[in-house]
Copies of this chain bind each other. A is one copy, B any other.
Amino acid sequence: MTTHQKPAKEKFIETALRMFADKGFYGVSLADLASELGLTKQAIIYHFKTKDALYAEVLSGLSARYDAVIDNVLAADCGADEKWQLLLQEMFNHMELAPEDARLIMRELLDNSERAQDSHRWYLRRFLNECVGLIAQTKTWAERSLDEQTAAVYQAIGAINYLAISGPTLEAIWDKDRVAGMNAVFLQTLS
């Protein structure tokens, strides 16, 4: 029934996200994914119809998580400048907890410049627009152009993403306290 279907599909999407993040869209076959799930690839087709549709659902879930982050921030009881700082902090925390999200976003950024008219990308666009809407209200950026505001958002997200991707490597060679200390410096630099 419906109550059983959703957790199963979520397991599919979770695994797919991790594998796409690790090896890229073309690096993962439906057979690979099914094998990881202990099923046949037709089980995936049954739930998602096509590989592209599965990928779309993966990206949709990812954007939903970011929409939740920005909704939380916008609902906070403080001014735009504090909200922008809070957003950077929240995104940073999210990336640390879910580095596979960061990896997939980085792959999307890499793929963006080539297949620019694809349907995939629009999933993150709404989130980006909300971010630009917020930064436009801060003291620093209020009088700058829309393009400048967009670039600032793009840069901030990119910087956070890159550090998140580096995270596992850095934690392997540093201790956690040191990484935490660097994080504080990092967020100061960003703002």
Question: A residues touching B (Cβ–Cβ < 8 Å)?
Answer: 22-27, 103, 106-107, 109-111, 113-114, 147-148, 150-151, 154-155, 158-159, 162, 165-166, 168-170, 173-174, 189
Residues B158 and A162 in contact, CB atoms below 8 Å apart: yes
Residues B23 and A165 in contact, CB atoms below 8 Å apart: no
For A99, the closest partner residue in chain B by CB is: B113
A75 nearest CB across to chain B (Å): 30
- A145–B118 alpha-carbon span in the complex (Å): 46
- A62–B110 alpha-carbon span in the complex (Å): 18
Chain B residues, CB < 8 A from A25:
27
A134 nearest CB across to chain B (Å): 18
- A130–B23 alpha-carbon span in the complex (Å): 29
Residues B168 and A113 in contact, CB atoms below 8 Å apart: yes
Candidate in A107, A151, A154, A189 with the most chain B CB atoms within 10 angstroms = A151
Residues B159 and A173 in contact, CB atoms below 8 Å apart: no
Residues A147 and B173 in contact, CB atoms below 8 Å apart: yes
A10 nearest CB across to chain B (Å): 23
